[in-house]
A and B are shown apart, each in its own frame.
Chain A
């Protein structure tokens, strides 16, 4: 007698009820949209924080009355205090790096499209998936609580170096409960990310449709897969780092706090800890984290570029191997954030070499994109504009890395605006361009409606020119020695350059305001956009073979079978110059062979 039968994984019935459908949904598509919504809230919050910082810096006398209402301690009389400036800075960095750049390109789009692109019905572990979003959401709530407590958010930066972050209130305002909330939030975030990464990896390895070999996966799926491998390792190290920090702060341990520190006239009751340990653990996570931020955008941009060029990349395989190399190398370079930290100067050279070496796969990627554009038929639309803009931004942001990778130059440029310009261009702009491109490209599939093209193009131009205006000057200012994380410049040294700061601030305000065009377009088009066909871009990958928006189980009753590589463009297909991955027709090249 058959006692019990094999469980049927993933054969869950269509969701019923509002809560199951929209709140605690197991559907990867809903979860993807939830991540996207969270990232949207976080990015606008982070943007407003940066506005406040920049306004305070160039117009320190300016009174912002609403801010006084928001935080009496932080902005008495509407003027931001030095410590509140640092609070805004800390929250800006934390929100942007964690809740925007890890969420949007990776968790949001990856959750929505990875299963579909590989022909799966859902992720491998839908319940873990739901938990991963709500855990991330909880992390966000905990972080935002820091704004409402009286002492305010922490002032140690998103990098939270010990001992400043570890000793508690003696170190400064916001460093008691604010810092504790920060540490707790990040620890919770780690758990959510680990669950997410696990899902991505298991899904990619085990749930591909028939005929979907790894090499037939679209480049966006490859990017999500590689990113999830990086994320698994990175967050698995950040979590212990946060646990040790929480223990130092609340349990009297001394992992990070050495003996003999006198802070606020109090001899701290700790001994033997190593602040350098925090830096090592944090940057072992922190460097791969920035590749977590950029790799999905590389994949998304590659995916979109191919479609808009109507021609495959010169070699998708080379792109895949380059992304893998970047992922691998990302684990060998963390010390380049610590050249001047007091670690052994020999190790600085050891870290510098792989850092410079990452230039090789990054250059290969750039040459693949550029080289593939040669002889193509580029279709210009909002998505492709952002994809092309990504290439420009990635190069701009990347070349400043040549400087910072060399320890001798880092002696001069470390902690200056040069560094801030570098990471904002690659993370804050290039990575976000990938998100914008993905949004314009996939919005029709996700909602069944097209976004407004004119608004999209306007958004592109304002953002493209605007971000160059904001972030290029950061590099120049860094070259003359403009130090970062200063709430104002009280010395004669910086006086000749305040004009540039004003320029950057005005550019930031205008560019930031332009993002509301995007937000409006998103919301308006969701309800009033032109109805979208199943395949508005004449694209080849599996997501374009299903209805817009897709049904709850993606492919309906039938499971897709994959016959081709993902980028059969420029060929004689039954529907045009392309052949879809799940189409059994033979691929006939345009020249007829």
Chain B
């Protein structure tokens, strides 16, 4: 039965690797400026993980095949080099791997979190609530009005709790259920949670960031391709979590300006 285990192990290794190697599962298209660094990181890691995975399963299979079911009296042998060789191998292999992945990965992380915002970026505020996303643009005055939680009124579509009567800056704020952004312009997304924890995830943008109630968080990104992309919530937020989504609509700059004007007019 040891031989059978060896065969099954090989089959498992091959069958598990097949969907990856044959590109049956491809990451969604990358529409961001920083995404290629992440995708490269994933590919690198896939190679190393793949080699480790397949290598280990094959070695296990080979050893089980060779050293089980032995009826003869062949003497026991020890792996050449013994424990010391293997420990050194582990340190060297894994050590270099960690350094490589860690150093490379740092750059990708830094490009998302440590690059300063561009001066002409577009400010948008996202509010996550049970179970929808709303987006607020500052309007022509370029300023966001204050948020007053006690003034929130879903029935009258005052999702953010704005007080235009007393707050000048709030009067021209534009609230939308869709995140409309111009292509190739950096967007600075300010993130506000109304009730519980949520998360903002756009697969194609390679962006994911939690909304943390009580904290002012933000992400910035630049979308490089026109189109409509799903924004989904990835932090368990209640019974409607599975259905909590919005759309990122990447449009040309003229279309974006026109859309803002139309929204302001309303």
Interface of A toward B, CB cutoff 8 Å: 81-83, 86, 155-157, 159, 161-164, 167, 171-173, 257-265, 267, 273-276, 309-311, 314-315, 318, 340-342, 345, 348-349, 352-353, 356-357, 359-360, 363-364, 366-368, 370-380, 385, 388-389, 391-392, 395-396, 399-400, 402-403, 406-409, 411-412, 414-416, 457, 461, 464-465, 468, 472, 476-477, 479-481, 483-491, 493, 570, 590-591
Contact = CB atoms under 8 A, between A and B. Distances in A.
Contacts of A274: 214
Given A352-B105, A378-B64, A395-B53, A367 B16 contact: no
Nearest to B49: A399
A408 B102 contact: no
Given A164-B196, A488-B242, A402 B101 contact: yes
Contacts of B83: 314-315, 318, 368, 371
A400 B56 contact: no
Contacts of A388: 5, 60, 64
A356 to B, nearest CB: 4
A378 B87 contact: no
Contacts of A472: 16
Contact of A155 (B8, B112, B212, B239): B239
A472 B194 CA distance: 37
Interface in B237-265: 237-243, 245
Interface string B126-165: 0001100000000000000001011010100000010000
B190 interface: no
B76 A310 contact: yes
Contact of A360 (B91, B102, B215, B217): B91
Contacts of A262: 129, 149, 152, 161, 194-195
Given A360-B94, A415-B201, 16 more contacts: A86-B241, A161-B236, A172-B130, A261-B195, A276-B212, A311-B76, A315-B83, A318-B87, A342-B210, A345-B113, A363-B90, A388-B60, A409-B105, A411-B109, A480-B26, A481-B27
Interface in B42-69: 42, 45-46, 48-49, 52-53, 56-57, 59-60, 63-64, 67-69
B105 A258 contact: no
Contacts of A353: 98, 102
A460 to B, nearest CB: 9
Contacts of A263: 130, 195-196
B119 interface: no
B25 A163 contact: no
B179 to A, nearest CB: 16
B89 interface: yes
Contact of B53 (A380, A399, A408, A491): A399
B41 interface: yes
Contacts of B235: 161, 415
A363 B91 CA distance: 8
5 contacts: A275-B197, A357-B98, A402-B49, A403-B49, A479-B42
A472 B89 CA distance: 28
A81 to B, nearest CB: 8
A374 B1 contact: no
Scoring A262, A276, A457 by chain B CB atoms within 10 A of each residue's CB, the highest score goes to A262
A373 B49 contact: no
Scoring B113, B130, B197 by chain A CB atoms within 10 A of each residue's CB, the highest score goes to B197
A156 B52 CA distance: 36
Contact of A408 (B24, B37, B46, B215): B37
Contacts of B48: 402
B12 A493 contact: no
Contacts of A396: 16, 53, 57
B45 A412 contact: no
A258 B213 contact: yes
Nearest to A486: B242
Scoring A171, A412, A415, A491 by chain B CB atoms within 10 A of each residue's CB, the highest score goes to A412
A411 B38 contact: yes
Contact of A173 (B9, B82, B161, B239): B239
A359 B64 contact: no
Contacts of B20: 476
Contacts of A416: 234
Given A171-B196, A375-B78, A415 B109 contact: no
Contacts of A408: 37-38, 41, 105-106, 108-109, 112
A371 B9 contact: no
Nearest to A472: B16
A479 B23 CA distance: 11
A164 B16 contact: no
A105 B6 CA distance: 27
Contacts of A359: 94, 97-98
A419 to B, nearest CB: 10
A407 B67 contact: no
Nearest to A394: B56
Interface string B1-33: 110010011001000100110001111100000
Nearest to A343: B212
B246 to A, nearest CB: 12
B63 to A, nearest CB: 4
Contacts of B123: none
A575 B16 CA distance: 44
Nearest to A311: B76
Q: What 7 A-B pairs come out closest when comparing CB atoms? A: A375-B77, A258-B214, A315-B83, A408-B108, A378-B68, A415-B234, A481-B203
Given A163-B196, A415-B199, A341 B106 contact: no
B49 A375 contact: no
Contacts of A352: 102, 105
A12 B253 CA distance: 84
Contacts of B207: 411
Contact of A412 (B90, B93, B203): B203
A409 B38 contact: yes
Contacts of B237: 164
B227 interface: no
A591 B75 CA distance: 8
A465 B7 CA distance: 12
B230 interface: yes
Nearest to B149: A260
Scoring A171, A371, A396, A468 by chain B CB atoms within 10 A of each residue's CB, the highest score goes to A371
Nearest to A381: B1
B238 A155 contact: yes
B64 A341 contact: no
Contact of A380 (B16, B60, B69, B86): B69
B68 A380 contact: yes
A267 B67 contact: no
Contacts of B220: none
A86 B87 contact: no
